[in-house]
Amino acid sequence: MATLTKAPVVEGHIPFAYQGETYETYYKVYGDLANRTQSPLVALHGGPGLSHDALLPISDLAGTSIPVIFYDQIGNARSTHLKDKPPTFWTIDLFIDELENLLKHFGVQDGFHVLGHSWGGILGCEFEVRRQPRGLQKLILADSLPAIDLWNASNAQLVQTFPKEVQEGLMGGMKDPKAFQGALREFHAHYGCLVKPLPAEFIYSLDQVFGENGDPTVASAPILKDWTIIDRLHLVRAPTFVINGRKDISQDFVVAPFFEGISKVKWVTFENSSHTPFWEERERFMQLVRDFLELKV
């Protein structure tokens, strides 16, 4: 592992104008963007509807001179909440527009990398395919999915490994929040994050949707209804690193189409991880990501 140095941290809010209204995107940057010697990595959190907190181990890279930009997507956590917007307001293009706005705000649009975790991988992949951003140098799809039906099939399969009360709690959803939260915590302890106890940052992110004061607006919108990108993966130009864990919700059969459909791609499965190898095999994760980002193509 490269020598770690303490990286400066800056946080704040960015104005985001969209359809005649202005919202705020919360950001947290680790590392010195102004005097950077390497392209920054933009981290896209999961959900939709969670927060950047679960991804914070990735800030380790800033200690090896790779600045890392985290942010909470609109409707989530510390960014503007919009509970009164109709479900049709929430689209993939909305979140891509917000990402482009963030890149322009920091002046990094001409040279950057993207790491998308879970739903964040969907967002990163769609950003590349729909907008073909000239500045995107490397794309990392961590524990993600290329089609919602594959994700649903994996979840259905894994749920069957639990006792009946856990299955019922998950199937009941937010109709019985207490039972659902307990069942969800149990599910994630096996297939979401194997660290014991679950990291506070991981729990905080889940609570942004499922907690007592959570906001399920974005998570409940039909953003991914019938969604797939499998037939468009040939449009991914950036060298891509596909990552999953052996006990991941993003099982091998879920992520395999990325490997089959993207032209410049590598795939690593973390044998001692589930859905969050950046927590579970932290040092190795950072080493492999750093090596990938620094590799000249």
What amino acid positions are annotated as catalytic residues? 118, 248, 275
Ordered DSSP codes for 44-78:
E-STTT--GGGGGGGGGGGGGT--EEEEEPTTSTT
Say how many residues make up the chain: 297
Would you tell me the crossing angle of helices 200-210 and 177-191 to the nearest 10 degrees?
Answer: 140
**Spatial contact of 141 and 242, defined as CB atoms under 8 Å apart:** yes
Cα angle value 191/142/284 (rounded, 5°): 85
SS (H, E, C) 4-32: CCCCCEEEEEEEEEECCEEEEEEEEEECC
Query: What is the C-alpha end-to-end distance of the chain, expressed in Å?
Result: 21
The span from the CA of 218 to the CA of 120, in Å, is 14
